[in-house]
């Protein structure tokens, strides 16, 4: 799979203007599509729009056939996934139908569309949050201190606009589908299922997760090897306990990398030496230098930089794991959300003996469900199940069965497609707003996920910027939360949960806050 | 509250015949009720039956008034709760209505009832469980060994009839009410509620639990002091972690006492010295002798003996706690289920500063829900919330809100009343079957709860009896699982979940197994 072209432009995007490259951008005979016309980070959007226009203006009449995805991807030198995605969106709109061998056929012409109106209601007046006005040093809120949890503190702090990362579009939670699935489950459930469950998880969900991972993450897993947990936070704690009991005291982490994950490992008595992340992901030479026997990674969409672990790095990492009997903890937290790039196979699919894979529905449905899964290497499996048993005797049964029902019926894949469309539009709105209000910011990791990261050249502290934004009613996470080593100032901005109106207004406020730094 | 009379007969019941006591049994003018006619352990049942007969045969015509519960309780020298319970059952049947100042009035005459037919289908042939036939030493199944979990092993072992303790009548789970409550919750829930929740638990559930504890357990609690957990097993693990971090290494436990609870504490690095239980509950002098700074107790219905912690013992325990700054962990696991005795106030209601109170819905609704609560003394509260956050970031939100809805609407109290009736009938069936098939067994703790315990004079090992029963298709727990010190052989028998047919057949099989020991 040739993704190198894709990644190079996505890794970091100057929002001002793209520097010209040596070769002319690839183009296709079909509709004279020229990929160079596509905005950075918005190519699926662009392709879908071009197709819609062509259908609307008669260039693609009803009954005509779109090129095979393989062919068009080769001509435009983009991933086949990008083409499939664009076709999928037209299919969801009802303009095209069919796929696979019979090809994709135009079935209805759309009413010509206008770009999404970003006008909305006039921006609300900028009133400082009263609670914070009284704080002498609001930036103290953003400085992690032992004994208090900064996430809890921030969550409890009111803000008009919340651009915290890590949450999908919660308004899209499929309430009716969930309730319907629960009714179906309750109708056929034997009474004994209300008793104490299996600490491994409900067999139905373990099967559904195995199927899901095979379909969506390229992982072939025996349901017997899957353990259901209360989300990745619990997975890390259980695994941390198991590793600690095995005598392991160190788990290397990416830098920058998730503060929350690091806190969970440290709470288990593990130290977390940082290994720097560059444009290809974790520096494996630096990982080797830590001497750690295990490492926590986010290979598909690194948190918070959004880079993809490159092919050579993957091979290097495999060598490290096999040579040192090392353990790779793969946190596949938002791998299903991608917009302008092909899917990245999970490390677990390549090296099951050395990879402990952690996933959850927090980014697919809702963090409030507290359901995740872990595939441990066989040597850790029994200890992990024992840890789960001691933690809580196993997840609640009913929500597991409802989720299994949603997975097996295809409802979760439909939800994912719905989310992709909604998230992509919000992502695009955020990039546009950054371009307008933070024109000197460098944008990272916008090709996938639920957040992007911006960095600045200025010599200020990003905790001060986050605090200034919060006094103006906008909640963001400073990049330094997630950095153990010195780093350029930056912000981690979630775009999946807030509306485009809030995104636009929030970025305008951030721009004002930045100008006052 | 004078309960001494009640307890003395309930604590241990010779099923063969009641030894005659000095004084004649108390009786009432009303209907010439003579409490001496009531079968041991079945007095509420008996009273309800007498009332039904009197209504059916016209002695209590429609419109007539039942005596005040206070009056009848005094005449029969039983707890007022027993009378209220009997009236409640007739009210549920639709035969009487009203209560409080206006009294209870007969509103409809029943069709004369026959005793519940225990005939059912002919007993299934006694086939040994195939899986177990091949085991050379089935009793090994019942011998706890480090590294394996005996509960998991037993749960995974098939049996036709399951008389394991600790589970309510699962067939009574209120599926429709649950689904209705969930629909109501989903209709009004803001999208933000699908995000990461509060590690303390959902505010709505914490309020509902506070109200529940005030109504049903005599505990006045501020919702702010309640932490929602994934059940008492998780509560013990979280608390064990907190105590261990505080430097505590020993938590005394009752002997006999729950094996599962002991395993959870030990997994946190705590030793669990036994303090013997006698007819008044834990021996506080023996607790003092352990030197432990904390103790785990089941005061309302001791597991597995069913004794109630006596008044003098309570006072002694309070003295221990205040003098030694000791911590009492009160596991109030099935306090709401009582049949022939008055409710026992929670220790927490008497000494909040020294009692960490743990409750759950496992015995009220279903263990599969994995929802519990803990009220810690203020000094442990923050550490407990931090432990919960690291464990799983807090319980799943949706089931918490559904449960809150059921608690606030009164549905959970209705469920409890329904369960009491069903459980009581099954309890009576079990006592009758024990009387028929294990005539020399001594029955303990049948006045409340979901299980009873039988002990034998014989010199055999109860693990061998449990194994012999399992080879015949009946699953029970040997008393020795729950004993750290030498004890008479015994079995812990759950009667709440199995049908009366299974109970009767299961006891017949146990009788056969016992005769072959």
The reported pLDDT for the residue numbered A29 is 62
How far is Cα A244 from Cα A241, in angstroms, rounded to an integer? 5
Query: Residues B279-329: pLDDT tens digits?
Result: 999 999 999 999 999 999 999 999 999 999 999 999 999 999 999 999 999
Chain A residue with the nearest C-alpha to that of B265: A390
Q: Please judge whether A392 and B391 are an interchain contact, meaning their C-beta atoms are less than 8 angstroms apart.
A: yes
- CA-based Rg of chain A, rounded to a whole angstrom? 23
Cis peptide before A304 (omega within 30 of 0): yes
Output the six-digit token pair for A233: 């936070």
- For residue range A54-83, list pLDDT tens digits in order: 777 666 666 677 888 887 888 788 888 889
Chain B residues closer than 8 Å to A366 by CB: 194-195
Task: Report yes or no: B235 at the A interface, CB cutoff 8 Å.
Answer: no
| Nearest in space to B462 (alpha carbons), one of B444, B446, B441 | B441
CA gap B259, A298 in Å, rounded: 40
pLDDT at A513 over 90: yes
Q: What is the pLDDT of residues B465-486, one digit of tens each?
A: 999 999 999 999 999 999 999 8
H helical segments located in B393-442: 397-408, 411-437
Nearest CA of chain A to the CA of B197: how many Å? Answer: 6
Digitized pLDDT (tens) for each residue of chain B, 517 residues in all: 333 333 333 344 444 433 333 454 565 667 767 787 787 778 888 888 888 777 776 667 666 778 888 878 887 888 888 898 888 877 766 677 776 566 787 766 644 322 233 333 333 333 333 333 333 344 566 765 555 677 777 777 789 999 999 999 999 999 999 999 999 999 999 999 999 999 999 999 999 999 999 988 889 899 999 999 999 999 999 999 999 999 999 999 999 999 999 999 999 999 999 999 999 999 999 999 999 999 999 999 999 999 999 999 999 999 999 999 999 999 999 988 988 877 788 999 988 999 999 999 999 999 999 999 999 999 999 999 999 999 999 999 999 999 999 999 999 999 999 999 999 999 999 999 999 999 999 999 999 999 999 999 988 999 999 999 999 999 999 999 999 998 899 999 999 999 999 999 999 999 999 999 8
Residue A122 CA to residue A124 CA, distance in Å, equals: 6
- Best residue of A393, A397, A426, A497 to probe chain B, by most B CBs closer than 10 Å: A393
What is A433-477 written as a DSSP string? HHHHH-TTPEEE-TTBSSEEEEE--SSS-HHHHHHHHHHTTEE-E
**Distance from C-alpha of B361 to C-alpha of B399, rounded to nearest angstrom:** 12
Q: Are the beta carbons of A170 and B194 separated by less than 8 Å?
A: yes
> Chain A contacts of B231, Cβ < 8 Å?
392-393
A161 contacts chain B (CB < 8 A): no
Compute the distance between CA of residue B183 and CA of residue B201 in angstroms, rounded to an integer: 20
Question: Least CA distance to A187: which residue of chain B?
Answer: B175
pLDDT band of residue A123 (cuts 50, 70, 90) is very low
Shortest CA gap B360–chain A (Å): 12
Taking residues A146-164, report their average pLDDT: 79
Which residues of chain A make contact with B167, given a CB cutoff of 8 A?
195-196
- Characterise B442 by phi-psi region: left (phi > 0), alpha (psi -120 to 50), beta (else): beta
Phi-psi region of A343 (alpha: psi -120 to 50; beta: other; left: phi over 0): beta
Distances (CA, A) of A17 to A35, A118, A381, A436, A439: 16, 22, 50, 12, 10
Q: Are B145 and B489 in contact (CB under 8 A)?
A: no
Name the residue with tokens 């079968």.
B39
Cβ proximity of A289 and A256 under 8 Å:
no
ipTM value: 0.76
CB A485 within 8 A of CB A257: no
Q: How far apart are CA B325 and CA B379, in angstroms?
A: 12
CA distances from B398 to A183, A333, A415 (A): 15, 22, 19
The whole-model pTM stands at: 0.76
Torsion of CA B138, B143, B146, B149, to 10 degrees: 70
């Amino acid at each position: 799979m040739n993704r190198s072209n894709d990644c190079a432009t996505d890794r970091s995007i100057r929002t001002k203007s793209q520097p010209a490259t040596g070769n002319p951008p690839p183009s296709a005979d079909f509709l004279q599509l020229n990929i160079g016309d596509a905005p950075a980070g918005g190519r699926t959007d662009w392709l879908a729009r071009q197709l819609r226009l062509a259908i609307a203006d008669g260039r693609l009449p009803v009954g005509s056939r779109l090129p095979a995805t393989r062919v068009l991807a080769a001509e435009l030198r983009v991933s086949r996934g990008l083409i499939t995605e664009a076709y999928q969106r037209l299919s969801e709109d009802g303009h095209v139908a069919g796929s696979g061998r019979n090809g994709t056929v135009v079935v209805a012409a759309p009413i010509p569309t206008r770009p999404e109106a970003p006008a909305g209601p006039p921006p609300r007046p900028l009133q400082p949050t009263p609670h914070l006005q009284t704080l002498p040093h609001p930036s103290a809120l953003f400085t992690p201190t032992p004994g208090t949890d900064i996430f809890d503190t921030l969550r409890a702090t009111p803000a008009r606009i919340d651009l915290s990362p890590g949450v999908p579009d919660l308004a899209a939670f499929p309430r009716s589908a969930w309730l319907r699935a629960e009714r179906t489950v309750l109708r056929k459930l034997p009474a004994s299922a209300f008793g104490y469950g299996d600490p491994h998880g409900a067999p139905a969900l373990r099967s559904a997760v195995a199927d899901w991972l095979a379909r969506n993450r390229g992982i072939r897993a025996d349901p017997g090897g899957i353990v259901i947990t209360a989300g990745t936070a619990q997975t890390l704690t259980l695994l941390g306990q198991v590793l600690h009991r095995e005598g392991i005291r160190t788990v290397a982490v990416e830098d920058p990398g998730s503060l929350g994950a690091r806190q969970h490992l440290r709470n288990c008595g593990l130290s977390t030496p940082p290994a720097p992340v560059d444009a290809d992901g974790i520096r494996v030479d630096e990982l080797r230098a830590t001497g750690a026997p295990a490492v926590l990674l986010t290979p598909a969409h690194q948190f918070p930089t959004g880079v993809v672990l490159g092919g050579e790095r993957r091979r290097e990492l495999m060598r490290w794991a096999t040579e040192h009997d090392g353990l790779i903890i793969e946190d596949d937290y938002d791998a299903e959300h991608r917009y302008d790039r092909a899917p990245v196979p999970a490390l677990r699919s390549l090296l099951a003996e050395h990879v402990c894979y952690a996933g959850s529905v927090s980014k697919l449905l809702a963090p409030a469900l507290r359901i995740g899964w872990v595939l441990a290497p066989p040597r850790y499996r029994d200890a992990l199940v024992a840890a789960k048993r001691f933690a809580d005797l196993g997840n609640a049964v009913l929500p597991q069965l409802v989720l299994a029902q949603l997975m097996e019926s295809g409802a979760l894949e439909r939800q994912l497609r719905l989310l992709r469309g909604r998230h992509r539009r919000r992502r695009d709105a955020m990039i546009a707003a950054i371009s307008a209000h933070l024109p000197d910011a460098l944008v990272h990791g916008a090709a996938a996920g639920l957040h992007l990261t911006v960095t600045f050249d200025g010599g200020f502290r990003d905790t001060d910027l986050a605090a200034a934004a919060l006094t103006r009613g906008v909640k963001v996470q400073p990049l330094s939360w997630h950095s153990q080593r010195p780093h350029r100032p930056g912000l981690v901005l979630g775009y999946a949960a807030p509306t485009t109106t809030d995104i636009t207004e929030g970025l305008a406020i951030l721009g004002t806050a930045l100008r006052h730094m």
